[in-house]
Amino acid sequence: MKKSILILAALFAAPAAHAQAAVGKAPSCPVGTQYTTIRHSAVIPGKWATFEKAVADHQAWYAKHDSTTTTTIVRMLARRGSAAPLSDSDAVTITRYADKAPPPHDAGWEAFTAEYKASSTIKDEMRVCMPARAR
């Protein structure tokens, strides 16, 4: 009986610990790498400028809070080939997180996340340990 209670307690504690880690310091990555989120987004037709503004406001929000976290937009090609045009319907964002707890969410956070929601949907998201940039 006692063993069953301990197992149940561990099962209930695990999600709580995971939730705390999600809002605290970024997970540890090996030396020479940086915790990073890569998102592939479908941009709503006619909303490319709004999506670009969301990325810029996302970057500015971290900078305003004295964080070294950076967010970069990467343009995708519409098709393969050397003369392929850039896609206006797909984008990739790369967010490299600072090695400290993120700032608390505020009205600025809500504003840029609303811009993302108004201009795109996330098609895929990956959390990775990206090789660190040369300084």
> Rounded to two decimals, what is the model's pTM?
0.75
Which tops the pLDDT comparison, 9 or 53? 53
- Across the range 104-118, mean pLDDT stands at 97
Which tops the pLDDT comparison, 33 or 12? 33
Identify the structural domains of the chain with CATH numbers, from first to last: 26-131 (3.30.70.100)
Structure tokens at 27: 């997970």
Q: 83-121 burial by CB neighbour count: b if 16+ within 10 A, else e?
A: eeeeeeebbebebbbbeeebbeeeebbeebeebbeebbe
What confidence score (pLDDT) does residue 5 get? 35
What confidence score (pLDDT) does residue 134 get? 58
